[in-house]
Structure 1
Amino acid sequence: MKKLIVGNWKMNGEPECSSKPMKFDEIYPSHARDHLDIVLCPPSLLIPGMMELCRNANIQLGSQNCHYLDKGAYTGEISAGMLKNFNVKFVILGHSERRAMGETSEEVSLKAIKVSEEDLTPIVCVGESLEIRNAGQARKFVSEQIERSIATLNNDFIIAYEPIWAIGTGVTASIDDIRNMHIEIRKIIGPDIKILYGGSVNIKNAADILKVENVNGVLVGGASLDMVDFAFIAKAAG
């Protein structure tokens, strides 16, 4: 199973950032990474300007969200079909920063279905808060979140485990915590679905994380904005 390295730029990036795929390719040429898939998920406004550069650098484009309908009076939203027109291949769904704004697992499920219908791949994010972990309910919470978020999907999706308490905090889950949760997730989704780890992934911890059983890649936040760091993380995948 190919490792998958995904960069989530969140609400960061200026127009000049569109050239970053070529910078990445200079540092880590595409011919040296046939064993990996690299994905960048910039803000939607940057996607058109990055299409050709990503194609030339053998980097795939992803989006950070989409709506579950094709069109309509939904101010500020974007559809999976629109994203497909701009060569987007992956869509991050259910990130904790979106769930914190009221997005439910049921909405994530609807979005994931629509993304799959457009032949794109949903990256469904799950993860527990520190309170839930400290209460000993992390596995139960994540299991239920997965079941509600993927509902009727086939095998064409990816799960990203991102403990909420480790996102943007500089705190990373321990290797044992990551291993144990990924084993639990594997029991739910079976052997053929990729599971990513996310949560303060950086150049110092990426190699250790990527060696963990059932970790098929990483979802990288802030470190993916620096192409030197992002390439270092990708190289850590072996």
Structure 2
Amino acid sequence: MARKFFVGGNFKMNGTKESIKAIIKNLNEAQLDPNVEVVIAPSHLYLPIAVDAVTASTVSVSAQNVYAKPNGAHTGEVSVSQLKDLGLNWTITGHSERRAGGESDENVADKTKAAIDGGLSVIWCCGESLEEREAGNTVAVVEKQLAALAAKLSGNDWKKIVIAYEPIWAIGTGKVATTEQAQEVHAAIRKWLKAKVSDAVADKTRILYGGSVTAKNSKDLAKQPDIDGFLVGGASLKPEFVDIINSNQ
């Protein structure tokens, strides 16, 4: 079945009030492919500004992270209900920069389940380090991350998941997996979903590529049968983000 192309923009710890408004103004005024779902993720500080500023019908706002427990004595954290209160319907979980800071596969799965139960959709991230790739363990690492997620989800939960495969060695480095490398892992993820979850989930789940995606490489990547879009980092802060969004035309 046809899966709707999806492009996420992870602003990471970047931006000011004015720069966030300028990025969104550019998206609002651009001729975006109407067949692409776009989700931007500014810092928590700027989420209210972003929600108020977005007028483009195909653009939504996401958090970069969420806490697995309800409101309470959790200093510095942000709950699912607080994100919903702001009008958000998305969050990212499991980005490698957070996994590197100590989040385990199980932590990420708990956050993802809490987000879904609270009414959010999730861009769930997975990926391997350079050492793991060079050791030939890429698929094993990603399957382990998937298994931890699947252990917490029920069948209907998968409807709220978008998977982002991000090879850690390609994030912010300027290196990018070749189209063949990216497609190979995306196909392996879909094969795992088919074997361990269901044919329907494998067919319907969108799998994004992330890792130094630019306007120069996005068109070739978008042509791959199992690449359903992108999770974009640094380039989402630049005007070329529009070109990446439109790369599937």
RMSD of aligned residue pairs (Cα, Å): 1.1
After superposing the two structures, state which structure 1 stretch, 147-156 or 70-79, moved more.
147-156
Q: Which residue of 2 aligns with 1:183?
A: 187
Q: Which residue of 2 aligns with 1:235?
A: 246
Structure 1 runs of 4+ with >3 Å offset: none
Amino acid at match of 2:119: D
Q: What is the CA-CA distance between 1:21 and the residue it aligns to?
A: 1.6
Kept after mapping to 2: 8 A contact 1:132/1:138: yes
Q: Which residue of 2 aligns with 1:126?
A: 126
Q: Which residue of 2 aligns with 1:37?
A: 37
Amino acid at match of 2:16: E
Task: Tell me the distance in 1 between the aligned counterparts of 2:65 and 2:150.
Answer: 15
Q: What is the CA-CA distance between 1:104 and the residue it aligns to?
A: 0.5
Q: What is the CA-CA distance between 1:49 and the residue it aligns to?
A: 1.0
Q: Which residue of 1 aligns with 2:234?
A: 222
After superposing the two structures, state which structure 1 stretch, 70-79 or 212-221, moved more.
70-79
Paired residue for 1:6, among 5, 8, 29?
Answer: 8
Amino acid at match of 1:177: Q
- Superposed, which structure 2 residues align to 1:40-55 within 5 Å? 40-54=40-54
Amino acid at match of 2:142: V
1:196 lines up with 2:195 in the alignment: no
Q: What is the CA-CA distance between 1:191 and the residue it aligns to?
A: 1.2
Q: What is the CA-CA distance between 1:52 and the residue it aligns to?
A: 2.3
Q: What is the CA-CA distance between 1:50 and the residue it aligns to?
A: 1.5
Kept after mapping to 1: 8 A contact 2:110/2:152: no
Task: Tell me the distance in 2 between the aligned counterparts of 1:209 and 1:199.
Answer: 11
Task: Tell me the distance in 2 between the aligned counterparts of 1:151 and 1:53.
Answer: 38
Number of equivalenced pairs: 233
Kept after mapping to 1: 8 A contact 2:7/2:230: yes
Task: Tell me the distance in 1 between the aligned counterparts of 2:224 and 2:136.
Answer: 22
Q: What is the CA-CA distance between 1:74 and the residue it aligns to?
A: 1.4
Task: Tell me the distance in 2 between the aligned counterparts of 1:219 and 1:149.
Answer: 19
Which TM-score applies when normalising by structure 1? 0.95
Task: Tell me the distance in 2 between the aligned counterparts of 1:205 and 1:21.
Answer: 23
Amino acid at match of 2:104: T
Q: What is the CA-CA distance between 1:98 and the residue it aligns to?
A: 0.2
Amino acid at match of 2:204: D
Residue identity over aligned pairs, in percent, reads 39
Which TM-score applies when normalising by structure 2? 0.91
Q: Deviations over 1:105-156 (max 9, x none)?
A: 1011110111101221111110001111111111111111111134232222
Q: Which residue of 1 aligns with 2:29?
A: 26
Amino acid at match of 1:68: A
